[in-house]
Amino acid sequence: MSDPLAPGGGDFLRNMLGDLLRLIRTEGPLQWELAFQLATSVAAGDEPDPNPDPIARIRLEELSAIAELHVADVTGMLLGSGGSGLKLVPTTRVEWARRSLEAWRPLLDRLATALTTTTGTTSPGSGSNAPGPLGFGPVAGTERASSEADGGPTAATGRPTGDEEAMPPDPFLEDADVLKGGRPAGDPDPDEVDLAGMIGRWTSAVAPAMAAMQVGSVVGHLARRSLGQYDLPLPRTSSNEIVVVLGNLDRVAEEWSLPTDDLRLWLCAHEMAFHAVLVRPHVTKRLEELVVAHVRLVRPDPRDLEGLLQGIDPGAIPGLSQIIGDPSLLGEADYGPSPELERVRAQLAALTAAIAGYAEYVTSVVASRLIGGHAPIGEAMRRRRVGRGEGERVAESLFGLRLDQEDVDRGATFVQGVLERSGELDLARLWVDEEHLPTPAEVDAPGLWLARIDLGASGA
């Protein structure tokens, strides 16, 4: 049998994987240069991405100053830091992608580490080992306990217990109960075994690159539709600047026949309302904990990648670029219901719904003061959420965050329930400390939340 890693040896797929293994050099859990390159390439696309007009930049700064005063009044929060106020900064799509990656870098490094390292926990149905790089570790069901009766070989190593010199097994062998001489019992086709093993080694070696491609692809697609920086409600590094994609904003104004200044003013209030909540340390901490926990519990199924790679047409190399650059092509591991995953998802959904509902309330109050009839803008934003793009859908899979119209409505109902029962002063207590963040049950029953925080206050 020819060496699949030798130039010219084996079939097309072996040659391709062997070449990639030689070229890839990885340092750290995520290759940032690759992430930036892919994000900016996807963000640029084939459409013009002109620099913002200087006059529009000045006008946006003026509207930012007006909106900040009113958002601070409604929330009771100090929005800026270091003695400076907030301001919205217009950018191109490419610049939005670059700035977003930089702002999310601390969190994305944590996510990439969770994706590319062993967590030390047991995934449902996956035996004793935790997920490998990018989730492409041992396939569920391939690791069986060794026979206590005869001291036979373990499924994880393919060697007798205690024999530390034998070669490690191929992680993609579906049946590795007995290995003799480095080959499975039953003498399967050596070419098939070698190919499966190479795919396993390749997916482990390229984990940091795959993580970078996933992140870069998501951020690039988000840049093509995002208006501000909180369309995806991820915490960012602290800054008094809020980046907006002026070209995307003006396109929405044109498509919906909305007055440009009204839409810009609405966006100022909306982004500042999100910012007021997401810069609070305990909110950032809780949100990041849940996002990282979600990444650890949800990972692609390695068999999906194997099938995709084997289906590549040797004459259509762009097919490989599409597969590794589009994380939506990789499904999640199907290990059946996981109570822990469902718990994390429920808490994430509740927290983001409460944040979104509160931001919508603040935005509505400010818009009523400054714009008057803002119903057409609200309807346009609702339609945009209903018709979310690829970036938003893939981001949901990668980060576990959902912020569609259903979630916004859920949060708005919670906020309205608090206001009806207790008023604005108790609503402001929502973000005072971590103990006041609502549980999933409380988001759906605001009376429960009010009773709990009132009980806590009386107990103190």
Instruction: Answer yes or no: is pLDDT of 174 > 50.
Output: no
Q: Evaluate whether residue 99 is within a structural domain.
A: no
For range 447-458, the mean pLDDT: 82
Backbone angles phi, psi at 245, to 5 degrees: -95, 100
CB 154 within 8 A of CB 145: yes
Give CA–CA dist 56/328, Å, rounded: 36
User: Residue type at 97?
Assistant: A
Nearest to 327 by CA among 231, 226, 388, 395: 395
Q: Look at residue 132 in the predicted model and tell me its pLDDT.
A: 34
Instruction: Answer yes or no: is pLDDT of 451 > 70.
Output: yes
Provide the domain count of the chain.
1
Instruction: Answer yes or no: is pLDDT of 185 > 80.
Output: no
Grouping H, G, I as helix, E, B as strand and the rest as coil, residue 111 is helix
Instruction: Answer yes or no: is pLDDT of 86 > 80.
Output: yes
pLDDT tens sequence across 113-172: 776 554 333 333 333 333 333 333 333 333 333 333 344 444 333 334 444 444 444 433
What range does the domain containing 293 cover? 51-91+226-298+333-459
Grouping H, G, I as helix, E, B as strand and the rest as coil, residue 236 is coil
Q: Which two tokens stand for residue 28?
A: 């750290």
Q: Which helix (H) or strand (E) holds 180?
A: strand 179-180
Instruction: Answer yes or no: is pLDDT of 197 > 80.
Output: no
Pairing outcome for strands 179-180 and 241-245:
unpaired
Q: Which helix (H) or strand (E) holds 101?
A: helix 93-116
Tell me the torsion sign for CA atoms 151, 157, 159, 163: negative
Q: Look at residue 372 in the predicted model and tell me its pLDDT.
A: 84
Q: What are residue 243's DSSP bridge partners?
A: 89
Give CA–CA dist 354/351, Å, rounded: 5
Q: Evaluate whether residue 203 is within a structural domain.
A: no
Give CA–CA dist 258/29, Å, rounded: 44
Can you list the positions of beta strands (E) in 181-339?
A: 183-184, 241-245
CB 38 within 8 A of CB 97: no
Count of beta carbons in the 10 Å neighbourhood of residue 175: 13
Q: What are residue 90's DSSP bridge partners?
A: 244
Q: Look at residue 177 in the predicted model and tell me its pLDDT.
A: 39
CB 108 within 8 A of CB 102: no
Q: Evaluate whether residue 261 is within a structural domain.
A: yes
**Exposure class string for 350-387: b at 16+ Cβ within 10 A, else e:** bbbbbbbbbbbbbbbbbbeebbeebeebeebbeebbee
Nearest to 422 by CA among 386, 444, 454: 454
Maximum pairwise Cα distance, the chain: 81
Q: What are residue 183's DSSP bridge partners?
A: 180
Q: Evaluate whether residue 429 is within a structural domain.
A: yes
End-to-end Cα, the chain, rounded Å: 75
Q: Look at residue 18 in the predicted model and tell me its pLDDT.
A: 63
Grouping H, G, I as helix, E, B as strand and the rest as coil, residue 183 is strand
Question: At which residue do the structure tokens 């939005």 appear?
Answer: 96
Q: Look at residue 232 in the predicted model and tell me its pLDDT.
A: 86
CB 400 within 8 A of CB 298: yes
Pairing outcome for strands 241-245 and 87-91:
parallel
Q: Evaluate whether residue 30 is within a structural domain.
A: no
Highest mean pLDDT pick, 56-70, 106-120, 226-240? 56-70
The angle at the Cα of 429, spanning 424 to 432, to the nearest 5 degrees, equals 145
Kindly list the distances between the CA atom of residue 162 and the CA atoms of 71, 106, 138, 178, 422, in Å, as whole numbers in the listed order.
66, 42, 21, 15, 67
Q: Evaluate whether residue 313 is within a structural domain.
A: no
pTM beyond 0.85: the answer is no
CB 368 within 8 A of CB 265: no
> pLDDT-based confidence at 205, cuts 50/70/90?
low
Give CA–CA dist 283/291, Å, rounded: 12
Residue 341 makes CB contacts below 8 A (sequence gap 6+) with: 294, 297, 298
Instruction: Answer yes or no: is pLDDT of 3 > 50.
Output: no
Residue 167 makes CB contacts below 8 A (sequence gap 6+) with: 158, 159, 182
CB 176 within 8 A of CB 155: yes
Give CA–CA dist 107/447, Å, rounded: 34
The fraction of the chain above a pLDDT of 90, given in percent, is 41
Q: Evaluate whether residue 153 is within a structural domain.
A: no
Highest mean pLDDT pick, 197-211, 296-310, 333-347? 333-347
Tell me the torsion sign for CA atoms 325, 285, 382, 262: negative
Q: Evaluate whether residue 82 is within a structural domain.
A: yes
Give 403 or 275, the one with higher predicted confidence. Answer: 275
**Phi-psi category of 134—alpha, beta or left, where left has phi over 0 and alpha has psi -120 to 50?**
left
Highest mean pLDDT pick, 39-53, 308-322, 433-447? 433-447
pLDDT tens sequence across 369-395: 999 888 999 999 998 888 776 667 777
R_g of the chain computed on alpha carbons: 26
